[in-house]
Amino acid sequence: MLNKILGCLYGQALGDAFAMPAQVHPDDTERCFGWLDSWQPAPADHLVHAGLPAGRITDDSEQAFSIAQAVIDVGAVTLDAAVKGLVAWYDRVDGDNSPYVGPSTRRGLNGLKAGEDPRTTGLWGDTNGAPMRIAPIGTLHPGDIEGAVADAVTVCMPTHFTLPAVSGAAAVAAAVAGALVDGASLDDVIAAGLRGAELGAAHGRRWFGCSIPFKIEQALDIAKSDAELRPKLRRLYDEVGATLNVPETVGAAFGLLALGQGDPKQTAILAANLSGDADTIGAIACAMAGAFAGFDALPAEDISVLENDEVFQSYNVREIAAGLQRLAEAR
């Protein structure tokens, strides 16, 4: 179990940091890098990440690790733990002055800091902050799709309690839970994610956004088509989408998981070349791939890059993995 939990956490960071320098449009990523298959710093003209060095994780992984640590400290997935983890991260990065705080997260955290009820502060949160940070929660429920979804709902509530956000987060948490089953196939993992998306759609405020299962299926159809790799990526970008919109983000992440055949590094490369909100899509896709393939599937040189990043170092990821294992085994 620890191998898969480590794979999930390191996979999250790998997809996040490796895809971080990708540009918004695939033509611009190609102009900057050609085929992006090596560690690179963010270009000087990057819309969000300008100035970040190669191997730097972003808010996707930081929030995931901070929430996981809070859950370990509290000893359970609770609304209070979710709030503590999010506020700890926000304060750590000086969120009021940080350009890396997403719109729904900022709105929710400003409400929390103003003393508002965490059961209502997320009722307008419809962007992809919920699925990007939920993967560690799935590791607490090996094979238990319903349990993973229930805890995902709780973690979504403070900032992203809309139907699309909860359904997307539930899909990711459920896929990770399915991946932790011994002998699970990649088809099993994807099926768990689809089931999680369906269950998650029963929660959260009804809001704009198409069906998460539909977008996942659309992406899977593209991944399974007979086209060459690069045309498939372009179809994912053009037809499924790669923006902060939750159905696009989650759909694309599952498409990349299938296209990369569950291999974390290959999935990270695909995320980088997909472009769009590549770090978030990569973080989600590679967290699922890492949980499926395990820590041992990650190349040693990539682990070294991550562990040399000062932000990654500050989260004691191996200790977080051990804490999640203890909680999972205590259930």
pLDDT score of 140? 98
**3-class DSSP state for residue 64?**
helix
Distance of alpha carbon 206 from alpha carbon 58, whole angstroms: 29
Q: Under a CB-based contact definition with an 8 Å cutoff, are residues 257 and 186 in contact?
A: yes
Predicted local distance difference test score (pLDDT) of residue 120: 97
Name the fold adopted by 2-330.
ADP-ribosylglycohydrolase fold (1.10.4080)
| CA distances for 230 relative to 32, 237, 270, angstroms | 17, 11, 9
Is the CB of residue 154 less than 8 Å from the CB of residue 183? no
Q: What is the pLDDT of residue 240?
A: 98
10-residue averages of pLDDT along the chain (331 residues): 98 98 98 98 94 97 98 98 97 92 94 96 96 98 98 98 98 98 97 98 94 98 97 98 98 98 98 98 98 98 98 97 97 85
pLDDT value, residue 331 = 85
Predicted local distance difference test score (pLDDT) of residue 238: 98
Q: Residue 213 has which token pair?
A: 């299962």
CA distance 330 to 110: 35
Residue 26: the pLDDT is 98
pLDDT at 209: 87
Beta bridge partners of 162: 205
Supply the pLDDT for residue 82.
98
- Give the pLDDT confidence score for residue 296 in this predicted structure: 98
Please provide residue 142's backbone torsions phi and psi, each rounded to the nearest 5 degrees. -55, 115
DSSP per position, 254-278: HHHHHHTTT-HHHHHHHHHHH-SSH
CA 129 to chain CA centroid, Å, is 8
pLDDT given at position 99: 87
Structure tokens at 278: 């590549």
Q: Could you tell me the residue ranges of all domains in the chain?
A: 2-330
Residue 319 Cα distances to 68, 73, 112, 146, 256, angstroms? 11, 12, 28, 26, 29
**For the chain, how are helix, strand and coil distributed in percent, rounded to 5?**
65, 0, 35
Residue type, 42: A
Residue type, 168: G
Using alpha carbons only, give the angle 185, 191, 197 rounded to the nearest 5 degrees.
Answer: 145
